[in-house]
Structure formats: structure tokens, C-alpha cells
């Protein structure tokens, strides 16, 4: 997140509220994540991939997959197109990309364009499965898989991280302006309807 004196407001900042005790679904916002789209110049995907591997250690997947090195991840969101994320935020992300592949790719900052949620918990998968029309079975949507799809009239980019203590971990990015509507749809898909905040827990409908 920028150290600007203009206060930043993340997409979900006033939406996720503490919820009552419970197991089920755990949702946290990833406000600090830096995001950018990376699109290879015409016919330059191969050169770009080599450069990224050489300079930044990430191997941009050719398909809907995710590769990570240190804090930087690249996710395939289309042919020759990736969504890049950086755990330390926008500035390191853009400087890394512009410095190293600015000549081979169109890089566009999307750190403010998307709002990102992390979703886990023993019933997170079931809750999410209600909303998206793709197969989230562990055998079908494995660790490192990425999907651009639709969730209740809203386009999302969804990816799965290494499993955590509360089970499978998904992260999803929605366009910032949809945050409130998307949150309604997502929380409606956790029966119990309670919204939740970092480390708060929601009881889901499945049990």
C-alpha cells in the first residue's frame, strides 16, 4: 500500500464486519496486494517468459496457472496475458516489471482496479462453489490453478494457494466498483449470512 498522505480505502474496507463465533468460512481482504496486468508484445510471449524467469525467477504459465517467486506471482488470465501480484504492494511490483520487462510487455497497474479477498475455512469451497460455475473439486481445481469466470453477474479472477490450517485457500479479485454487490452475493452464499472480517469466522450452510 502506498505511503501517500491521501488516505487509501480498499474496495471492501467498510464491508467486512466481525461475525459471531463459528467454523465454516473465513474471509479476509488482501488490501495490501499489488496487482498489474502484463501483456506480451505481439509474438513476444516466449522472449517475455525467458526474461521473467531469468530476471525475476517466475515462470509465467502458458495456461490458467500461477507461478510464484518470493513475493511475486504471475497468473495466466489469457493467451499472452497475466495478472501479476506482489505481496509488498504496488511500488515494488511495478518497478520490478517495468525495469525488467517494460520493453517486452505492456504493463498496466491494476492495484486499485481490483479488490481482492482471501477465502478459506473447512466449508469455504462449498460456499464458493455455489457462486461460481466451475468445478472446485480438489482434483479439478488444484493448488496453483487460476480461473477467470463469473460469480453472480460479476467477473472474477479466482486462484488457489497452498492449503492452510483451515483447509484450501482461495483468493479472488473483482473489479473494485463491484465490491459491495459482490460481497452481498458472496455472503448470501454462506447461509447464515454473516459478513466477516480478518480472523472472524462464519458458519456456512454446509455441515
The residue ranges that bind another protein (CB under 8 A) are 1-10, 14, 37, 39-43, 45, 62-64, 76-81, 90, 105-106, 108-114, 129-130, 132-135, 137, 140, 147-150, 152-155, 175-182, 184-185, 188-189, 191-193, 205
* Sign of the CA dihedral with 109 first, then 116, 39, and 97 last: positive
Q: Closer to another protein at the Cβ: 76 or 169?
A: 76
Please answer whether residues 75 and 170 qualify as being in contact, where contact means their C-beta atoms are separated by less than 8 angstroms: no
Cα dihedral 202, 182, 89, 76 in deg (nearest 10): 110
- Picking from 128, 205, 184, the residue whose alpha carbon sits closest to that of residue 159 is 128
Nearer to another protein, 70 or 130 (CB): 130
Nearer to another protein, 70 or 150 (CB): 150
User: Closest approach of Cβ 57 to another protein, in Å?
Assistant: 21
CA distance 138 to 160: 10
Measured from the CB atom, the residue of 44 and 70 that comes closer to another protein is 44
Amino acid at each position: 500500500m502506498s505511503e501517500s498522505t491521501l488516505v487509501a480505502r480498499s474496495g471492501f474496507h467498510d464491508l467486512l464486519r466481525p461475525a459471531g463465533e463459528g467454523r465454516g468460512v473465513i474471509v479476509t481482504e488482501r488490501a495490501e496486494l499489488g496487482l498489474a496486468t502484463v501483456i506480451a508484445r505481439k509474438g513476444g510471449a516466449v522472449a517475455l517468459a525467458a526474461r521473467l524467469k531469468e530476471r525475476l525467477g517466475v515462470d509465467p504459465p502458458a495456461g490458467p496457472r500461477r507461478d510464484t517467486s518470493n513475493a511475486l506471482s504471475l497468473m495466466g488470465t489469457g493467451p499472452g496475458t497475466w495478472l501479476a501480484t506482489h505481496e509488498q504492494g504496488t511500488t515494488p511490483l511495478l518497478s520490478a516489471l517495468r525495469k525488467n520487462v517494460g520493453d517486452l510487455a505492456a504493463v498496466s497497474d491494476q492495484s486499485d482496479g481490483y479488490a481482492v479477498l482471501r477465502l478459506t475455512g473447512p466449508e469455504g469451497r462449498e460456499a464458493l462453489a455455489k457462486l461460481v460455475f466451475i468445478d472446485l473439486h480438489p482434483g479439478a481445481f488444484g493448488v496453483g490453478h487460476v480461473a477467470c469466470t463469473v460469480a453472480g453477474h460479476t467477473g472474477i479472477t479466482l486462484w488457489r494457494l497452498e492449503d492452510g490450517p483451515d483447509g484450501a485457500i482461495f483468493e479472488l479479485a473483482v473489479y473494485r466498483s463491484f465490491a459491495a454487490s459482490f460481497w452481498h452475493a458472496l455472503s448470501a452464499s454462506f447461509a447464515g449470512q454473516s459478513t466477516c472480517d480478518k480472523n472472524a469466522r462464519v458458519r456456512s450452510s454446509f455441515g
